[in-house]
Amino acid sequence: MKSLTRRLLPALLCALTLTAVAQTPSPTQDTGISVPNMDPSVRPGDNFYLYANGGYIARTHLPADRAGLSVFSILSDRSFEQVAAIISDATKSNAAAGSNERKIADLYRSYMDEAAIESHGLDSLKPRLAAIDAIHTQHELANALGLSLRADVDALNFTNFHTANIFGLWVAPSFNDPDHYAPYLLQGGIELPDRDYYLSTSDSMKEIRTKYLLHVSAMFRLAGLTDPEARATRVVALESAIAQQQISLADSEDIHKANNPWHPADFNAKAPGLDWPEFFRAAGLDKQQTFIVWQPSAFTGEAALVASQPIDAWKDLLAYHLIEQYGYATSKALAEERFAFFGTTLSGTTKMRPRDFRADVLVSTTLGDAVGQIYAQRFFSPEAKSQAEAIVANLLVAFRTRLENLTWMAPATKKEAITKLGTLKVSVGYPDHWRSYAALNITPDNLFANLWNAGLFEYHDSLSRIGQPTDRKEWCMTPQTVNAVNLPLDNGLNFPAAILQPPFFDPSGPAAHNYGAIGTIIGHEISHTFDSEGAAFDSKGRVRNWWTPEDLAHFNAVTAALAAQYDTYTPFPDVHVIGRQTLSENIADVAGLAAAFDAFHTSLKGSVAPKVADFTGDQQFFIAFGQNWGSVTRDAALRQQVLTDPHAPGEYRALTVRNEDGWYKAFDIQPNDKLYLAPKDRVRIW
């Protein structure tokens, strides 16, 4: 929940994503607010989202291979065009074996070489499927489950809580010793995006489950396994049982429930059923003396299922998850079946993204820093960096002033908050140093091997960090990523180069637009430092309760009102936005908007902002903010987003303006306007 929008790229590898890269002509101008994107027939007080974006929505038609388009996807488009140029140059460079350029070129080739993929075919999967088939004892099952562990989750930075492996590993600064990295273990075990897909009794979810059973069966059949229907039935039953043991996304987001240090002996005592010593031995974690278990009840429940459910069901689950994760790299038929379910049924797209695009995405994520190093050099000017840093500095001043003027917070708490703001490390554009890919072996003609090696490379890299001193300057996003992130355990922010471009940011554009667009995004990330999660970490990144009970009571009361505000938004008759699940992000939007509005006014130094298309500076500021969230999304994808994303859909993020007094003044919003909130109902936090 710390990032600005959900991390989309891993899913994109199979073209499953909600928003990513647009093909429609850019609907925004490169400077200032986009008037053609607006709908002047809508009154701003009735539907500010449509007022700011109605023109864009009306003329945006989703191509068959897109689940959604948005302003973020316009920028992603641009970023991927830039990345494509970097990759294309690498393929022509004939770079030395072992160099980053050569790895970029070879990974790209391995994805594009469909003949090589089909010639290796299922042979790549067979030895691994045979190993699963040879499991006969609980000891061997624990070994296989341990071998499946990967570093594929992230609880606080990207907030990715999903892994299909039984558990997921995340290595990050320790809650209890933030100067060193510690292993966090998270719940997992299901392939569908969230436990609600297994547990909900709504008709639409039942229909998805019926299609899912057919899909699992088809995957087994296409991978050449016997009895595909019986295996699929066992897998879905076991995943459903696992889903019942999982805790909800909203509960997973509550870090006050997550700091559970377990020693190896605790696993046997608190979560009997799995042969834990063998699990940890296979996972390369048998020397580790402490883990932080994020969702203890799920570990208890899932370990019990290992003992209570038939071993054949677990073998089928392991086989299916292997086929689902890697099958697309071994056969066109498996890739198409996977897309038919995850791309079409779950996201509403009917066509895959072009192959070369998917290859670019794979390279840009797997070799993120290798591509990013070239990207930052080539596409991020020193001028953009210094101007973005100036906006960040003004936002920090605005926050500091707001903290100093707070009346509800105890002086001691306020002092620590201001200290925390003072030690916040804000990095703009790209990291100071880059990771090495020396240990990652890439070949030009075996995609499966490359994907397998890349997964292990990430895992071993994470293992090697455990116990090491924390690198406070580390980045968790690549420069080519259109997003921004707050790293609470590092007390740091990353603003990648790729988001610091029009339409979010233009060094030569009007201040009203820059503050309304990128300024509110910067404010959003800064505010995570002080939201319901950030408040759990002190200025050194330690988990420490530095708030008085009265501070916390006030904060909880105000934010409960905000959660209730979002609960009223209903994109579908059977689904409403989950106020508690999206609370941290909504707080960040409210606070970011307020601080950016202050910073905009400070930047004017007493002068009047020039009008653009007859809009005042304040109007441009709010329109720019509303236009950040313009989007068109297919229903299936929107449903998935509401259930699995800590961020509310863009339509509702734009309505954050309801809580900002300046918006009422700028557009003369009156009590008879639909979005009007009485001053006492406007949520003010910082």
CB of 488 to Zn ion, least distance (A): 11
User: Pick from 570, 642, 638, 643: which is nearest to 18 by CA?
Assistant: 638
Site for Zn ion contains 588 (CB under 5 A): yes
Distances (CA, A) of 458 to 8, 144, 180, 473, 487: 18, 19, 19, 19, 19
CB of 55 to Zn ion, least distance (A): 27
Q: CB nearer to Zn ion: give 241 or 588.
A: 588
CB of 2 to Zn ion, least distance (A): 6
Q: CB nearer to Zn ion: give 243 or 591.
A: 591
CB of 486 to Zn ion, least distance (A): 7
CB of 646 to Zn ion, least distance (A): 8
Choose the stretch contacting Zn ion; rule: CB under 5 A; options: 346-354, 414-422, 462-470, 588-596. 588-596
Q: CB nearer to Zn ion: give 362 or 588.
A: 588
Angstrom distance (rounded) from CA 583 to CA 553: 16
Residue 349 backbone dihedrals phi, psi, to 5 degrees: -85, 150
Q: CB nearer to Zn ion: give 346 or 588.
A: 588
C-alpha angle 119/124/130, rounded to 5°? 135
Q: CB nearer to Zn ion: give 349 or 491.
A: 491
Contact set for Zn ion, span 547-586 (CB under 5 A): 585
Angstrom distance (rounded) from CA 395 to CA 595: 6
* DSSP structure class, residue 56: H
Instruction: Quickly list DSSP for 157-180.
Output: SS-B---SSSEEEEEEE-SS-TTB
CB of 584 to Zn ion, least distance (A): 7
Q: CB nearer to Zn ion: give 295 or 582.
A: 582
Angstrom distance (rounded) from CA 554 to CA 686: 12
Tracing tokens 């233009």 back to the chain, one arrives at 506
Q: What is the distance in angstroms between the CA of the first residue and the CA of the last residue of the chain?
A: 19
Q: CB nearer to Zn ion: give 250 or 304.
A: 250
Angstrom distance (rounded) from CA 43 to CA 25: 27
* DSSP structure class, residue 193: S
CB of 412 to Zn ion, least distance (A): 27
Angstrom distance (rounded) from CA 659 to CA 441: 52
Q: CB nearer to Zn ion: give 588 or 594.
A: 588
Site for Zn ion contains 192 (CB under 5 A): no
Contact set for Zn ion, span 5-34 (CB under 5 A): none
CB of 325 to Zn ion, least distance (A): 28
Contact set for Zn ion, span 229-268 (CB under 5 A): none
Count of chain residues binding Zn ion (CB under 5 A): 2
Angstrom distance (rounded) from CA 329 to CA 327: 5
Q: CB nearer to Zn ion: give 315 or 528.
A: 528
**Which token pair is 293?**
């278990």
* DSSP structure class, residue 422: H
H or E element in which residue 633 lies: strand 631-633
Angstrom distance (rounded) from CA 553 to CA 325: 45
Q: CB nearer to Zn ion: give 454 or 588.
A: 588
CB of 171 to Zn ion, least distance (A): 22
CB of 147 to Zn ion, least distance (A): 34
245 neighbors 301 (Cβ within 8 angstroms): yes
User: Pick from 604, 217, 598: which is nearest to 398 by CA?
Assistant: 598
**Residue numbers at the binding site for Zn ion (CB under 5 A):** 585, 588
